[in-house]
Amino acid sequence: MRTSSHLVYLIALPLFSSALLLLLGRIADKWGHLLATLVSASAFGVGVSEFIAMHSHTGANRAATQKLFEWISVGNLKVDASLLLDQLSICFVLLITGVGTLIHIYSIAYMDHDKDRRRFFAYLNFFIAAMLLLVLGDSYLNLYVGWEGVGLASYLLIGFWNHNPTYAVAAKKAFIANRIGDVGLSLAIMICFTQFGAVSFSGVKAGASHASPAALTAIGAMLLLAAAGKSAQFPLQSWLGDAMAGPTPVSALIHAATMVTAGVYLITRSNFIFDASSTARLLVVTVGVITLLFGAIVGTAKDDIKKALAASTMSQIGYMILATGLGPVGYAFAIMHLLTHGFFKAGMFLGAGSVMHGMDDEINMRKYGGLAKLMPITAVTFGLGYLAILGVPPFAGFYSKDKIIETAFNQGGGKGIILGGAALLGAGITAFYMTRVVVLTFAGAKRWKDGSHPHESSVLMWGPMVVLAIGSVASGFLLSAGGALVNWLQPVVNASHAEGGKELMNPLVVSILALGIVALGASYAIVKYRSVPEVAPENVSIFTEIARKDLYQDIFNDAVLVKPGTALTAGLVATDHHVIDGAVRLVGWVIGEVSDVLRKIQNGYVRTYALAMFVGVFIGALILWVVTA
């Protein structure tokens, strides 16, 4: 393991820029966005140079560390603030800074009319810094700092237009759902410390090899809870749809490409825990499968283009989580899908932003239609992302998603059939709802009012979209050519001992099955949405109704958690008001009443006081005399 002195710049640059922009205030309004973009690009530059440096080393020396300072040193607990750049982190560093820079560029144009653009860019830079800390920390505690940092950035950016109460509530909802996950992470760290006396990845890895299965399962379950919170997985998934309240570049960067994938990173990073506990793995695949179907079903019923894409994100991360639960061989596929998803979903979100920009911030897809002619670049880039998410060869999703489905089938037995079947079904539903989005937005007759003038966005906006579209096309092939990513990640996820897992399904059969079901879903959507009513139909089947209500997740949360929670809080407030405050007020009242009586003694006449003194002295002297005599 070599040391590198440049890692800190990855985090320090955006952090410094963010602080500068926030502290300078309006002075920086003119050039704040340029500085932020420049800083993000230089972080990408540092990332690329580190990537090249990694290639010039081999074996264990590929990974680099940098100790910043001794952070905590209490008794047995010694934690350094150190950074670790290994084969896994660098994938994230390049994704975060690369896609991050593109989205910075896009935001320059997208946020052009917003008077708080500088603040927006400060938050974006802060997010980049926190996310890099998350993936570069070499211990769970360092990761935790970044984990909280991205949560804060997400909160600030979802509520960026917090003068709108709905958006402010959405931000709060996201933050609280994330906090529940964070509790899981902190519990996992505590269990690690009590079990292994260490919180660094290497320390926990060393301890995990001879830890009790119960402890490993507990840690795994807590880490999964953390991942579920951050990555919007069942049962903490409800915040992601509302998180679309944030500006679209935020949805693309934080709530599609990077932050929401932190859960996948966490599980992949903790592979030594999950490899050792099959119960934890079972939990992971269960959560993954439920969420991938859940998100896909919700996605079919959304008329809000961003919410449809958010449901899709939820579902795609479900695929990744599913892959991480499939054992060592799945990690690389999870990361591969994460990277390709980073390209095509960010690209599609930017496309959605471009459409909204051209349509006066209209988000209802039923009011779009026929935009392909007027926004050709947006339509083409979105279309490429669409083909990628469907898994049409040779686009990116074909390489990553089919691998996950195939690995799921290869689990064997009933488990393999269930997981693989669910993943396959998810792919079909994905094809349906994504086709629906494309058809509603870009095809068919125009349904917008005559007042709006849809137009192609400026080059600052379509430039990043084109780059991401190229990524959507090529990344899958590049990452999987010759098992590039699998071999690259092998030292981290230790996949070797799982190689040669039984190949129960021929990859070709899986691909044909997947393509068949995708074609089915897509053509059903095309047929169904040949004509689109401008208002969502009222008399729909019970299933559509359920899907529109997000499978009753909000109603369930409201009834089971929010209402009792509110009642409990109200009870506590009442207790505080009447019992605790009451006791204090009672004491005050008693003293007041007694004082009222005693006050009469103080009549203001000097001679009364003098008499009291004399009597007092006399009594004192009398006592003295009696005692001494």
Partner 1 sequence: MDISNYLYLSVMLFTIGALGVLIRRNAIVIFMCIELMLNASNLALVTFSRIHGNLDGQVASFFTMVVAACEVVVGLAIIVTIYRSRRSASVDDASLLKN
Q: Binding of partner 1 at residue 602 (CB under 8 A)?
A: yes
Closest of 176, 466, 495 to residue 335, by C-alpha: 495
Applying CB under 8 A, does 601 fall inside the site for partner 1? no
How many residues of this chain bind partner 1 (CB under 8 A)?
9
Show the tokens assigned to 605: 């006449």
3-state helix, strand, coil in the chain (%, to 5): 75, 5, 20
The distance of closest approach from Cβ of residue 566 to partner 1 in the complex, given in angstroms and rounded to an integer, is 50
Q: Residue 468 and residue 416: Cα distance in Å, rounded?
A: 34
Candidates 574, 610, 622, 624: give the one binding partner 1 (CB under 8 A). Answer: 610
145 secondary structure, DSSP code: H
Shortest CB 589 distance to partner 1, Å? 23
Q: Which residue has the tokens 């949805």?
A: 251
Residue type, 412: G
Dist CA 324 CA 424 (whole Å): 17
- Which residue carries 């639960």 as its tokens? 325
Residue in the block written with tokens 């992302």 = 385
Q: Which of 60, 561, 584, 611 binds partner 1 (CB under 8 A)?
A: 611
Residue placing its CB nearer to partner 1 in the complex, 567 or 611: 611
**Does the protein bind partner 1 through residue 595 (CB under 8 A)?**
no
Q: Given the rule CB under 8 A, which of 314-322, 471-479, 559-567, 608-616 is the region that contacts partner 1?
A: 608-616
Look at residues 203, 43, 45 and name the one whose alpha carbon lies nearest to residue 132.
43
The sheet carrying 2-3 orders its strands as 2-3, 64-74, 77-85
Please say which residue, 450 or 596, places its beta carbon nearer to partner 1: 596
DSSP letters for 280-325: HHHHHHHHHHHHHHHHHHHHHT--BHHHHHHHHHHHHHHHHHHHHT
Residue with tokens 């559509």: 544
Q: Which is nearer to partner 1, 55 or 607 (CB)?
A: 607
Considering the complex, what minimum distance in angstroms separates the CB of residue 613 from partner 1?
A: 9
| 607 forms part of the interface with partner 1 (CB under 8 A) | yes
Distance CA 60, CA 136 (A): 17
Nearer to partner 1, 451 or 604 (CB): 604
Amino acid letter, 567: A
Q: How far is the CB of 568 from partner 1 (least distance, A)?
A: 50
Is the CB of 535 or the CB of 606 nearer to partner 1?
606
User: In terms of CB distance, is 543 or 609 closer to partner 1?
Assistant: 609
Site membership for partner 1, residue 604 (CB under 8 A): yes
Q: Is 552 in the site for partner 1 (CB under 8 A)?
A: no
The answer to the question of residue 628 lying near partner 1 (CB under 8 A) is no
| Cβ nearer to partner 1, comparing 500 with 604 | 604
Beta pairing partners, 80: 70
According to the binding rule CB under 8 A, does residue 603 interact with partner 1?
Answer: yes
User: From the list 445, 606, 626, 627, which residue makes contact with partner 1 (rule: CB under 8 A)?
Assistant: 606
- Residue from 451, 605, 628, 629 binding partner 1 (CB under 8 A): 605
Q: Which residues bind partner 1 (CB under 8 A)?
A: 602-607, 610-611, 614
